[in-house]
Structure 1
Amino acid sequence: MIRLLIVDDDKLVRKGIISSMPWQDFGMEIVGEANNGENALKFMEMNPIDLLMTDLSMPVMSGIELMRIVRERFPSVQIVVLSLHQDFEYIQEALRLGAIDYIAKTQLEQEQFEEVLGRIVKLMERKDGLKVAAEHQVDMVTPAGGHLYVYYALSAGTEELSADQAITSNAAEAGPGIWYTSEPLPRATMPNANMVSIQFSGLEGIDHKSIMQMIRGYAKKDLFYDYEPENGLLHIDAAIYMNGDKATSGIPLDQMKEKWGAADWIYDDAVFRSQLSELKELKMPPVRLARIFYSLSDEWNRLYQAILAEPIAIEDFFPSWFSFERWLAEVRERISRAGAKPLFSPEIQNSIVKAMNLAQQNIGEPISSSEIAQMVNMSGSYFSQCFKQYVGQTYTDYVREIRMERAKEYLRSTNKTIQWIAEQIGYSDEKYFSRLFREHAGVLPSEYRQMPESQRMKL
């Protein structure tokens, strides 16, 4: 009997799937359900399962993050994605992480249930067969001369390829998107241009289990930072790699966020290169890096909304540091180009952007125009003149607008009182805040909170 765990944040969806599909006819048993990835992991730690069926978009922990952790902690568990997302990149990332099937909720109709379950069972059987075959291949790829050639599927757009259809019959699968051989393979035999080739040397005396752990461990973090498109075959000395100091050092996380939240990296090439170098040295896990800059992109959109034609968007997944650095350079170019005003010197432009940044960071503090002018080393009158010409509104109007937009965020995302929200954005008088909010949005804060999201988006 195949033991199945269903994960979806919508209770009605979970109940509908459980009650509607003929699970027992295909040798399946629902052993549990969870409303997010975190609760799913808690269940799996206490209960054995064979198959995980998960949504992608969930609070607390997304389905993509859940899949990454399951691949590491529960490698024998097979995964099926059930989601509203039909975006190509979502599908490819799910497959890259080892999903055997990807089912769109909108396609689940009554007459398809048996077809879907039958396909899942066949895919599970095929995957199990490949796993057994790979285990028998171990002897064929025992390190010859103390080295192995390892091939990683790098890009989120690369489909997961099984060992029998991927590289050659002499290749064994070390994990999702990872294959290894004892001899180098001709480039012509590569199934995809997004394969990264690594030669691990110095493997004499290292047991097979440790070699596999090293190969998989390298894929989780170091490959992300080492890969560069112009490199051919990368060489890794296993003894140095396994015995090296994996501890990372660098600036504290809060200080790092503060640096990237400031404007210096946008207008100063040396600062940009320095901050990039510091960030790379941290070698934080790619998922964490993406999370931090997802949050920072929100801050940049708030900060530069007055000059950007379109908001800054960030990818859900960066396959390498190279792709992340390219995205960051593009963001820098966009902001710099949008803020370029030929009437002002780069120093003045930088000062105005710093003032905008300070206003955002101190949104709850009553900082006057003259005070902020002093903080960016400009005279009060010249600052006011430059700010209005650069941003298109006075400093006072700009501060009021960003405060009202932050108030909208609080009203949408929290149940805090109107008084609390007023205080968070710099107003001690709730009635005064409500009057300003109505002038800005056309409705009172309490009315805005009760509106459907479709109406709020228009205000």
Structure 2
Amino acid sequence: MYRVLIVDDEPVIRNGISAFIDWEEEGMTVEDHYANGVEALSALESCSFDILITDIKMPLMDGIQLMKQALALCPSLKVILISNYSDFEYVKEGLKLGAVDYLLKLTLKREELLAVLRRTISMLEEERRRDSELNHYQEGALYLDRKRFEQEIKRYIVQEQTFPESTVWDPAWLEESYACVYLMLDAAEEWRENYGYLYVQLLLEELQEAFYKQMREGSALLVAESSLFIIFPDLEGEVEQQLNQWKLQLEAKWGISTSIGFAKEQGVHRILKGYAESSLACQRRFFEGLGGLYRRSESESNHVQTLTDIEPNPDWTPFFEMIHKGDPASSAIDFALERWKSGILNPGQVQLEASRLLTGVYQSHADAGALVSERYELLFRKTETLEQLASFMISELEEMGKPYIPKLSDNGYGGQLITKALEYIANHFTENLTLQSVADIVHLSKSYFSLLFKKQTERNFIDYLIELRIREAKRLLAQNDSRIYDVAGAAGFKDVKYFSKVFKKITGLTPVEYRESMK
């Protein structure tokens, strides 16, 4: 039986998780559950639990702190996080530390929890099987030494502590030059979607085993859900060439793409620095593309980024103005890319800023809640490079650029009528709409509808209609070389001269000038 510990400060969540599953039937037992991390850590000191299910936000000690200290006590422990959307930055940290997965409190279903638990058990069983088989290798003693050293490295990385001068297994080559390598599986999320989490986990373990079979000295450990940290002696001073050759062999054998960051260090006490340097080097894949071999330059290594290096609240007014005016999404993204390509932010910070920008756009929509919750996670998990992030955002913003229903402050009867009117306008704005024709749709008098529309949208009916038509004209001008007359008609303007005057009044450019500016 696998022993499970549940930690959450809300009794209803703890009891709900306990009641969700027929634990005995699944080969598990829930023997304890606690309201905070401090109590749970005391129970974990015996290291007799196999699975930890923990909330992130808790009093006294949060779930991330608990996870760090629990893994330091028992590196083989498997952790499942439960959280809210507002905890996503903590969730990312937990996944980097090696959490199996995370589940959302507000939408937690028995089937989802059961699937994650079964996957966790499969991982535990596979680790036990693999450890058992490797113990029978001819060089089993050497493997066990490596494994102990691997666990010790992992413990110090998790605790972010400097290595002592002596360790459980302190090979002589650590006192000479050695390579620190951070390897990431490219397109890991796509692999998970197509083949499952367990497949990716087993693939990484295959890579780990391949390293041990090929390299008589060194260690390899899983440090995140799609990454390995490897150290080995730099015997001939040709680490880059050796890594390139090994990388090509791995990719050819398993049909994968990998990105590798590396650094050189000397002395066991420098392992933690080597881990940080190689991890930071691998982050360059976000800016330079997947599949590369990266090394931190000396200037990068000497520069320690502080909060003062980063402008905390940049002026994004031009970005939102371009979106509001209906300019091509690529123009707004180009504005953002000027900041992001500068290198003052790391990939996570860029993704966070991108999510905030999209949230600002989402929140102008009536269905903002659904949009944010559905797309926010996708941005973090599927944009491994800046190019992918830019494409993702352009796609999202173009979707937002279509006629939409603006968010109204009043959800009462009046708000419902205007929402219905806005839906009708969004579907028919290129047609011959009038104030009277739309008022008839919602069964209101022309005068009352006019007053209610302005109160709800803070715009006159005709101004709103012209705004939609100009946005459509911008889209058409940026996408094709149709005649201005045809663009005007397709956008809902019957008089091309009137269209040209209105367009220049709103944008400051003639339709022809605007088209040229978009090339």
TM-score normalised to the size of structure 2? 0.46
| In structure 2, C-alpha distance between the alignment counterparts of 1:200 and 1:247, rounded to whole Å | 22
- Determine the structure 1 residue equivalent to 2:375: 313
Residue 276 (str. 1) matches residue 332 (str. 2): no
Match of 2:228 in 1: 178
Does the residue aligned with 1:320 lie in a helix, a strand or coil?
A: coil
C-alpha deviation, 1:234, in angstroms: 1.3
1:152 aligns with 2:184: yes
**Which residues of 2 match residues 371-410 of structure 1 at below 5 A?**
383-387=463-467, 389=469
Instruction: Extract unaligned runs of 5+ from structure 2.
Output: 83-92, 104-108, 136-142, 151-169, 192-199, 234-241, 405-425, 431-451, 473-519
How many Å apart are 1:208 and its aligned residue?
Answer: 2.6
What is residue 5 of structure 2 aligned with on the other side?
5
2: CA distance, partners of 1:189 / 1:153:
11
Q: Which amino acid aligns with 1:324?
A: L
Paired residue secondary structure (2:6):
strand
Quote how far apart the aligned CAs of 1:6 are: 1.6
Q: Partners in 1 of 2:180 and 2:295 — Cα distance? A: 10
Map of 1:331 onto structure 2? 396
Match of 1:165 among 203, 209, 219: 209
Shift of 1:333: 3.9
Contact 1:290 1:318 in 2 (8 A): no
The structural deviation recorded for 1:246 is: 1.8
User: Shift of the alpha carbon at 1:187?
Assistant: 0.8
Any idea what the Cα deviations from partners look like across 1:82-122, whole Å, max 9, x if unmatched? Answer: 98xxxxxxxxx99886357999943999xxx9999798477
The corresponding residue for 1:363 is none
Following the alignment from structure 1 to structure 2, what is the Cα–Cα distance between the partners of residues 272 and 208? 45
Q: Does 1:244 align with 2:303?
A: yes
Q: Is the 8 A contact 1:96 1:156 kept in 2?
A: no
Q: Answer yes or no: is the 8 Å Cα contact 1:153–1:194 preserved in 2.
A: yes
C-alpha distance in 2 between matches for 1:338 and 1:69: 47
User: 1:244, CA displacement in angstroms?
Assistant: 1.8
- 1:16 corresponds in structure 2 to 19
Paired AA for residue 245 in structure 1: V
Note the residue ranges of structure 1 that are not aligned, 5 or more in a row.
84-92, 345-365, 374-379, 393-459
Question: CA distance change for structure 1 residues 300 and 259 in 2, over 3 Å: closer, same or farther?
Answer: same
State the alpha-carbon separation in 2 of the partners of residues 292 and 73 from structure 1.
Answer: 32
8 Å Cα contact 1:147-1:200 kept in structure 2: yes
What amino acid is the match of 1:178? Answer: L
Instruction: Note if contact 1:154-1:195 (Cα within 8 Å) is conserved in structure 2.
Output: yes
- Deviation readout 1:265-319 (Å, 9 max, x if unpaired): 9737565334223245442572x6555554543442342569xxx9882415246
CA RMSD of aligned residues (A): 5.8
Distance 1:124 1:320 in 2: 32
8 A contact 1:153–1:195 mirrored in 2: yes
**How far apart in 2 are the matches of 1:233 and 1:19?**
47
Structure with bigger gyration radius: 2
Identity %, equivalent residues: 11
Distance change (3 Å), C-alpha of 1:257 and 1:140: farther
Over 3 Å counting, the alpha-carbon distance change for 1:46 and 1:284 in structure 2 is: farther
Matches of 1:391 and 1:108, distance apart in 2: 45
Q: Is the 8 A contact 2:182 2:278 kept in 1?
A: no
Aligned residue in 2 for 1:133: 146
**Per-residue deviation, residues 65-97 of structure 1 (Å, max 9, x unmatched):** 9579836983444215498xxxxxxxxx99886
For residue 375 of structure 2, give the secondary structure of its aligned residue in structure 1: coil
Q: 2:262 aligns with which of 199, 203, 210?
A: 199
CA distance in 1, matches of 2:338, 2:289: 19
The separation in 1 between residues aligned to 2:66 and 2:344, in whole angstroms, is 22
